Amino acid sequence: MSASTTEPLIRGEDDGLRIQDDRSTNNDIEVDESALVAPGAFIWALTVCAGVSGLLFGYDTGVISSTLVSIGSDLSSRPLSTLDKSLITSCTSLFALIASPITGVLADHWGRKRVILVADVLFVVGALWQAVTGSVWAMIGGRSVVGLAVGSASFVVPLYISELSPSPFRGKLVTISALFITGGQVVAYIIGWLFSTYSHGWRWVVGLGALPAAIQFLFLQFMPETPRWLVQANQKELAKKVLSRVYGNTEDIQDLVSVILRQVEKEIYEEEDAAAERSASQAPKQGWRAKMARVNDHLTQLVTVGGNRRALIIACMLQGFQQLCGFNSLMYFSATIFAMVGFESPTLTSLSIALTNFVFTLVASFTIEKIGRRRILLLSVPIMILGLGLCSVAFNYVDIPSEEALLEYRTGDRVWAVVILIAMVTYVAGYAIGMGNVPWQQSELFPLSVRSVGSGISTATNWASNLLIGITFLPMMELLTPVGTFALYAGICIVGWFTIWRIYPELGGLSLERVGELLKEGWNVEESIKQARLRKLEARQKKTRGAT
């Protein structure tokens, strides 16, 4: 817990906090968090409270599978057409895609917490709207409001957790939010299945989503803003209080808290100075024009500054592959696939997909810090390729009935149907361990000045790819056949593996401010691996020293 700088100066008089003004020095600030053993109760509580948004994200995306088959003629007094089903499913992804870059900007102005609050209001409105709706178009409206909520929550929750958590536990705690997503999907599958026999039961299923959102809304009143946003908003005293609660209040820890604050401040000062230099030649702007100019400046910085651009490429690449590898086609259509290959109870069989996803995300939360983000991806993507390859081969041996005959079809080749199930479970396990959660670590890639905007854009990439997969899956199953479709997803995973291997450095255990430095001059993959090894070695040595 040391800072290599000396002579702290007092900057500003707003809160009397003794913080080094690093405009005057080029010294590095070293934050050493390796002595921290486990996340404290406070950060756990915050992660769980924020994670409820993930639960809603999972619930509202998972619920559609059972809702579509239970609606019957409840909407517009007619059965749903294929177009109705596609629109009801994809409008959520479309509106999530629209919401994420916008909330990316808003989270900078309003703060991270207020975006979670707004998402909660949208979750409640969307859930109740769907529950009472009478027509197909009104249902599409309700699903779109939910889409706005899902888009905002999916971007802001990992950002919130990542800015609050101590570096050694950041990977684990952000993975917990992914665990909530997959847990929400399991709950949605189970509740959907339980209510499927009641007439109009689907209205309860979609309406229930309002409850956790309303509870979270109440809890949020007691949750703090992130220290990093608070420093940016010039509320340093409050930022210090939050950090102290996250890290603990011992004297030793207070030194560490001060060093972290100084590091955050240093980053902000450097960015402020650079922004002032850039705008020196322009006429000063006021009000919303000033705000727009700031957003514009952030977007320009995101693309033109090498380190930011690299961060954006990595974040969008990971989010793109997370969806283009085809996982959500199973989430949305696994029941259809299992019916196709002849399973007696396709909805129940498809629960195995959601459960595997949940269980292996749980495994990831225990292992990600030990194995590392990069390594966990490089090890798990081949498992996905294996599952998809096996699936593609197995489909060669199963007779697929025409769509009309689908409901009566129950006599597929049992052995190959089971092979398909095993292959899919293998694929999902591989996905959940790496691809399903590592991309949500996206916020750590960006420096504070462009973190919110950058995370918003990469979340939008996730939803754009999600939309693409949702729309193309069924047509591809016809045009390319299941063999071709799953082979294509395997091919995408192969490309994904090579791209990750080439450009994604190991970022586990680095402070958010250090990540920026790593990407400044290049991808620095080799260097990052070396540093990660060193960090591990040091941590091990400290432990042994502590034990003796």
Return residues touching ligand INS (CB under 6 A): 61, 178, 181-182, 185, 322, 328, 331, 357, 436-437, 440, 466
What the block records as the tokens of 163 is 């800015």
The least distance separating ligand INS from the CB of residue 175, rounded to whole angstroms, comes to 10
Q: Which is nearer to ligand INS, 235 or 437 (CB)?
A: 437
Residues 409 and 406: their CA atoms lie apart, in Å, by 5
Q: Which is nearer to ligand INS, 319 or 392 (CB)?
A: 319
Q: Which is nearer to ligand INS, 178 or 302 (CB)?
A: 178
Q: Which is nearer to ligand INS, 466 or 485 (CB)?
A: 466
The least distance separating ligand INS from the CB of residue 456, rounded to whole angstroms, comes to 15
Residues 56 and 359: their CA atoms lie apart, in Å, by 18
Residues 270 and 275: their CA atoms lie apart, in Å, by 9
SS3 511: coil
Long-range own/partner contacts, residues 134-142 (CB < 8 A, 24 or more apart): 134/75, 134/76, 135/75, 135/76, 136/75, 136/76, 136/80, 136/84, 136/87, 136/88, 137/76, 138/75, 139/75, 139/88, 140/87, 140/88, 140/91, 142/206
The least distance separating ligand INS from the CB of residue 440, rounded to whole angstroms, comes to 6
Q: Angle, to 10 degrees, between the axis of helix 136-164 and the axis of helix 112-132?
A: 160
Q: Which is nearer to ligand INS, 326 or 401 (CB)?
A: 326
Q: Which is nearer to ligand INS, 5 or 328 (CB)?
A: 328
Residue nearest to ligand INS (CB): 436
Q: Which is nearer to ligand INS, 181 or 256 (CB)?
A: 181
Residues 399 and 405: their CA atoms lie apart, in Å, by 12
The least distance separating ligand INS from the CB of residue 403, rounded to whole angstroms, comes to 25
The least distance separating ligand INS from the CB of residue 106, rounded to whole angstroms, comes to 21
The least distance separating ligand INS from the CB of residue 432, rounded to whole angstroms, comes to 7
Q: Radius of gyration over alpha carbons of the chain, in Å? A: 24
How many residues are there in the chain?
Answer: 548
Residues 377 and 392: their CA atoms lie apart, in Å, by 22
Q: State in Å, rounded, how far the first CA of the chain is from the last one.
A: 21
The least distance separating ligand INS from the CB of residue 328, rounded to whole angstroms, comes to 5
Residues 47 and 320: their CA atoms lie apart, in Å, by 25
The least distance separating ligand INS from the CB of residue 484, rounded to whole angstroms, comes to 23
Q: Which is nearer to ligand INS, 328 or 443 (CB)?
A: 328
Long-range own/partner contacts, residues 200-204 (CB < 8 A, 24 or more apart): 200/74, 201/70, 202/66, 202/67, 202/70, 202/71, 202/74, 203/74, 203/130, 203/131, 203/132, 204/131
